């Protein structure tokens, strides 16, 4: 059975299979984590086996909480499952909503709790089923690369940086 995620149907939060939520473009809960070392952020390149946006660069971790799971618990769990990152406590920054076409007839209509990890040292051990590559990128260079090569990045990363960067990275200017 596929993972059940919190999704709004008929105005109520209900458990819905993740794939069904994306195929129907249903509004659902999500979690997104940025891992920072100074002005550099951790990017992951999504594995080619991912059912949407394979091979594209995204922020450190993006996922959906399971039915009944709290956002912070989900962020901690997925940092470990995707990137092998343990011993870090993400800090809640904001909740944002967006809708984006992610290919394969799927829509991400997400209400996202955004978390940030700030650490001087993070050991990254990516899960190859989730992540094909990773890199640290300065925010300044990331803005340039997204501007020059937008097709290399996930829709949500572009939305976060274009519309919500002041909340995620207070004090940072483009």
Q: At residue 116, what are phi and psi to the nearest 5 degrees?
A: -130, 135
Dump strand ranges (E) for 38-82: 40-46, 57-59, 61-63
Q: Of 62, 82, 108, 113, which one is the catalytic site residue? A: 62
Q: How many CB atoms lie within 10 A of CB 15?
A: 14
Beta bridge partners of 117: 35
Contacts of 125 (CB under 8 A, 6+ apart): 83, 84, 85
Q: Of 61, 82, 108, 110, which one is the catalytic site residue? A: 110
Q: What angle do CA 111, 117, 121 make, to 5 degrees?
A: 155
Give yes or no: 62 in active site: yes
| Strand 12-17 with 61-63, pairing | unpaired
> Catalytic residue positions?
62, 110
């Amino acid at each position: 059975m596929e993972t059940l995620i919190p999704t709004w149907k008929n105005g109520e939060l209900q458990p819905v299979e993740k794939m069904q939520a994306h195929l129907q473009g249903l509004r659902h809960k999500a979690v997104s984590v940025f891992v920072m070392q100074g002005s550099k952020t951790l990017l992951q390149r999504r594995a080619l086996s991912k059912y949407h946006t394979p091979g594209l660069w995204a922020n450190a971790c993006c996922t959906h909480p399971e039915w009944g799971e709290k956002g912070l618990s989900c962020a901690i769990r997925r940092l470990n499952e995707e990137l092998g990152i343990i011993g870090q406590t993400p800090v809640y920054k904001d909740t944002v909503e967006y809708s984006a076409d992610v290919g394969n007839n799927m829509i991400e209509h997400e209400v996202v709790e955004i978390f940030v990890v700030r650490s001087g040292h993070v050991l990254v051990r990516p899960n190859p089923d989730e992540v094909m590559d990773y890199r640290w990128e300065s925010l300044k260079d990331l803005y340039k690369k997204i501007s020059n090569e937008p097709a290399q990045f996930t829709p949500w990363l572009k939305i976060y940086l274009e519309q919500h960067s002041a909340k995620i990275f207070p004090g940072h200017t483009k």
